[in-house]
Amino acid sequence: MFDHSSYDSHEDVHLFQDAASGLKAIIAIHSTARGPAAGGTRMWNFASGEAMLKDVLRLSQGMSYKNAMADIPLGGGKAVIWGNAKTDKSPALFRAFGRAVESLQGRYYTAEDVGIDVADMAIVRQETAYVAGLDHGEAASGDPSPVTARGVFLGIVETAKRALGSGDLTGRTIAVQGVGSVGGYMCDHLAKAGANLIITDIDQAALKAVADRTGARIVAPDDIYDVEADIFSPCALGAVVNEQTLDRFRVKAIAGGANNQLVIPELGELLRRKGILYAPDYVINGGGIINVAAEISGNYSSEWVEAKLARLVQTLGEVLDEALTSGQPTNAVADRIARARIASAR
């Protein structure tokens, strides 16, 4: 563990195995310096335990940075459950996962991420109170995806101001990879703002629903990297900006909701050299965790969420401006600010 390439002085990493329900889960706590660790649970059919571990280490570090940039009193953590979200779910599995979360006694709060919905979290809640993203009960705030999507949309406008010379998206073309919870809601905002959409997904039903609502053009999953567009918006999984895709992009900016978009941080500099303005993922996609933070506080306030979201969008603008004026990659600027905020809390 201590030699793992994705280990970043994580405070603790917990493995859970429950033979009765088939649960195999990892909860990684990167930092509690700014408050209890918080971050969603992802259910995915990982290729291996190693792939699962790498994902949770990177995602939990990303949550520390994300929560610091959103300026909320939470540290960073993440959970992953090994399994197919369409076929392997059961109440017993989520109850076992709930007991795992409970065993950490509030060092980690969970919520939805890829493959997990509000109904799953309601089952987790039967075993532990350290859950957010619920739609019933005191201070419940529901699925955070709509707030994430709105934040990403506002972040795209902010990015467009710098990369395209105007935040007016009328007639602009946005290529969206993944039209699930975040991507789907985000497409609605983009269509309303007058943008032309090119979308892809591996889920045909989701694709059709979004195309019917927004008039989007559908392309095959691998073709999304080659389309000519103003902005590429990754809203599926991570590592989509890599050495294979880098030379395929025909866009002026990359701004989307997916976590860990760059396969390695050095890709930020390569994007900069190509003249592609990258909105750092954990800054632009912090809307959902702001909503979750409001719920965790026990006193949900939509005014507080709106104010934090507005400040986050402003922070994104500041990161982009500093990067553009200093000639640094945007992700390096964001990392430096996030690390400084965590260090000062320590």
Q: Is residue 113 close enough to count as binding ligand NAD by CB under 6 A?
A: yes
Among 119, 129, 202, 340, binds ligand NAD (CB under 6 A): 202
Q: Is residue 201 close enough to count as binding ligand NAD by CB under 6 A?
A: yes
CB 338 within 8 A of CB 68: yes
CB 277 within 8 A of CB 320: yes
Report the residue number, 36 or 115, with the smaller CB distance to ligand NAD.
Answer: 115
Cα 63 to Cα 58, 70, 78, 250, 345: the distances in Å are: 9, 10, 7, 30, 15
Which residue has the CB atom at the shortest distance from ligand NAD?
180
- Map residues 26-55 to x or -, x wherever contact with ligand NAD holds by CB under 6 A: ------------------------------
- Map residues 269-308 to x or -, x wherever contact with ligand NAD holds by CB under 6 A: ----------------x--x--------------------
Binding residues for ligand NAD, total number by CB under 6 A = 29
Rounded CA-CA distance 328/46 in Å is: 34
Which are the contacts of 104, defined by CB distance < 8 A and separation ≥ 6? 14, 27, 29, 130
Among 236, 241, 277, 342, binds ligand NAD (CB under 6 A): 236
CB 150 within 8 A of CB 313: no
Among 257, 268, 280, 317, binds ligand NAD (CB under 6 A): 257
Range list of H helices, 197-301? 204-214, 267-273, 281-284, 287-296
Among 13, 258, 276, 277, binds ligand NAD (CB under 6 A): 258
Q: Tokens in use for 31? A: 């930092």
Rounded CA-CA distance 56/260 in Å is: 11
| Secondary structure (3-state) at 169 | coil
Cα 146 to Cα 199, 224, 289: the distances in Å are: 18, 23, 11
Rounded CA-CA distance 124/315 in Å is: 34
Report the residue number, 99 or 217, with the smaller CB distance to ligand NAD.
Answer: 217
Which are the contacts of 234, defined by CB distance < 8 A and separation ≥ 6? 177, 178, 240, 241, 254, 256, 257, 258, 261
Which part of the chain contacts ligand NAD (CB under 6 A), choosing from 2-10, 102-110, 160-168, 179-187? Answer: 179-187
Q: Tokens in use for 205? A: 């039903």
Among 32, 259, 315, 331, binds ligand NAD (CB under 6 A): 259
Q: Is residue 180 close enough to count as binding ligand NAD by CB under 6 A?
A: yes
Nearest approach, Cβ of 145 to ligand NAD (angstroms)? Answer: 4
Among 77, 183, 317, 329, binds ligand NAD (CB under 6 A): 183
Nearest approach, Cβ of 38 to ligand NAD (angstroms)? Answer: 12
Nearest approach, Cβ of 19 to ligand NAD (angstroms)? Answer: 27
Which part of the chain contacts ligand NAD (CB under 6 A), choosing from 2-10, 75-83, 177-185, 325-333? Answer: 177-185
Q: Is residue 144 close enough to count as binding ligand NAD by CB under 6 A?
A: yes
Rounded CA-CA distance 19/201 in Å is: 33
Residue numbers annotated as active site: 78
Q: Is residue 235 close enough to count as binding ligand NAD by CB under 6 A?
A: yes
Residues at the contact surface with ligand NAD, assessed by CB under 6 A: 112-115, 144-145, 148, 177-183, 200-203, 206, 221, 235-238, 257-259, 285, 288
